[in-house]
Amino acid sequence: MILITGGAGYIGAHVNKLLNNSGYETIVLDNLSKGHKSAVKWGDFVNADLSDSEKVREIFQDNDIEAVMHFAAFSSVAESVEEPEKYFKNNYENTLNLLKIMKEFRVRKFIFSSTAALYGIPKSIPINEDSELKPINPYGESKLMVENLLKDESDFGGLKYVSLRYFNAAGADLDCEIGEGHDPESHLIPLVLDAALGRRDSISIFGDDYSTPDGTCIRDYIHVNDLADAHLKALQYLEEPFNDSNIFNLGNGNGFSVKEVVDTCKKVTGIDFDVKIEERRPGDPDILIADSKKAEEILGWKPQVTELEDIVESAWNWHKKIHV
Ligand code: UFG
């Protein structure tokens, strides 16, 4: 049995589906503060908060947990700047609690949702795992604290972990059973699709004076199913007794500018909408592109949905399904 914390959230739900389709049994723990119960279509479900040690212990007591995949976290950079303590509590302290309980029950395999936000403003592109870790916001800082803790637990406490540093997760399940839905929404692609559906009057581009060819920020959009596949491969990696703890970047290796994303959304939807150029959003690096060669070499992972059009199309199919 695999415990998936945050399995009612965007990425966790896609991983839950893939694990079940690959023959694993899962149990999802989620407090539904951000996730959706309707996204937990596979495995068992427990509505619990990671700070509730008794309830978390019960899960370990009642189930034969082989490994934990830990998605439960807050993930809005902007919110983390306004309420840092919330991020350190939920993202760091609750992980500390979870790891403590795992140790009590001798569960030693852990897969962690990490982030490109650890790299802050990178010195060179593409970014590999050895690049300097210098988060520029509390969200990234809280995730870095967990990575440091994992390293110590692995070096001295017998933990075997894989930390997966996601770049920009995007798109939706190709069968359209689950997808992205944050409230409030802050991510580019769903916001642009909202503009296409007339759920917003326009889309704002935050800054067009960055050091990029068209002046807008470049990001590496990685399809959520490809992220899910990396989790499955990370689990299989940890199941091999001689493999050590490890850290992998997950991106598709292609960068797309905000303007390219907006134009692709117009093309895929066939709908025109207003685009406004606004001030820069604080804390946005010019360019983030992953070097994911390590995951390719060691996990045998290779992203499958790499065309921006295909990523946007999957997101669009889901968006229409839930909003039309
Ligand atoms: N953007 C706009 N207009 C919008 C929303 C976003 O122009 O209405 C721009 C942003 O300024 C940025 C790009 O679109 O340049 C992508 O923004 P997102 O908010 O979709 O994603 P981020 O790159 O800011 O954040 C993502 C994850 C974070 C993670 C970060 C790591 O959502 O959890 O990558 O860099 F920390």
Q: Could you tell me if 203 and 114 lie in one domain?
A: no
Q: Tell me the pTM.
A: 0.97
Residue 176 lies in a domain: no
Give the count of domains, the chain: 2
3-class SS at 170? strand
Residue 69 alpha carbon to ligand 1 centre in Å: 24
The label of the residue with tokens 């309707």 reads: 38
Q: Could you tell me if 12 and 45 lie in one domain?
A: yes
Q: Could you tell me if 22 and 62 lie in one domain?
A: yes
Beta bridge partners of 205: 277
Q: Could you tell me if 111 and 163 lie in one domain?
A: yes
The CATH number of the domain where 309 resides is what? 3.90.25.10
Pocket of ligand 1 (CB under 6 A): 75, 77, 115-117, 139, 168, 186-188, 191, 203-206, 217, 219, 258, 281, 284, 288
Q: Could you tell me if 244 and 285 lie in one domain?
A: no
Q: Which atom, in ligand 1's list, is nearest to the CA of 205? A: 7
3-state secondary structure 73-125: CCCCHHHHHHCHHHHHHHHHHHHHHHHHHHHHCCCCEEEEEEEHHHHCCCCCC
The CATH number of the domain where 156 resides is what? 3.40.50.720
Q: Whose CA is nearest to atom 18 of ligand 1?
A: 187
Q: Could you tell me if 39 and 117 lie in one domain?
A: yes
Q: In sequence order, what are the residues at sequence separation of 6 or more whose Cβ sits closer than 8 angstroms to the Cβ of residue 1?
A: 24, 25, 26, 27, 63, 64, 65, 66
- Check residue 182 and give its pLDDT: 85
Task: Give the residue from 234, 250, 266 where a domain finishes.
Answer: 250
Domain, as residue range, for 75: 2-170+223-250
- Check residue 314 and give its pLDDT: 98
Segments of the chain scoring below 50 in pLDDT? none
- Look at the alpha carbons of 87, 318, 305, 32 in this order and tell me if their dihedral is positive or negative: positive
E strands, the chain, are 2-5, 26-30, 44-47, 67-70, 109-115, 160-166, 168-170, 202-206, 218-219, 221-223, 246-250, 256-257, 274-278
The label of the residue with tokens 């609690």 reads: 97
Distances (CA, A) of 108 to 37, 58, 105: 28, 17, 9
Q: Could you tell me if 198 and 104 lie in one domain?
A: no
Residue 66 lies in a domain: yes
Q: Which atom, in ligand 1's list, is nearest to the CA of 76? A: 33
Q: Could you tell me if 6 and 135 lie in one domain?
A: yes
Residue 209 lies in a domain: yes
Q: Could you tell me if 133 and 239 lie in one domain?
A: yes
Taking CA 45 as the corner, what is the angle to CA 182 and CA 50, rounded to the nearest 5 degrees? 70
Q: Could you tell me if 266 and 301 lie in one domain?
A: yes
Q: Could you tell me if 94 and 239 lie in one domain?
A: yes
How far, rounded to the nearest angstrom, does the alpha carbon of residue 242 sit from its chain's CA centroid? 27
Q: Whose CA is nearest to atom 10 of ligand 1?
A: 206
Residue 228 lies in a domain: yes
Residue 178 lies in a domain: no
Q: Decide: 45 and 26 in contact? Cβ < 8 Å.
A: no
Residue 181 lies in a domain: no
Q: Could you tell me if 53 and 198 lie in one domain?
A: no
- Check residue 302 and give its pLDDT: 97
Q: Decide: 195 and 202 in contact? Cβ < 8 Å.
A: yes
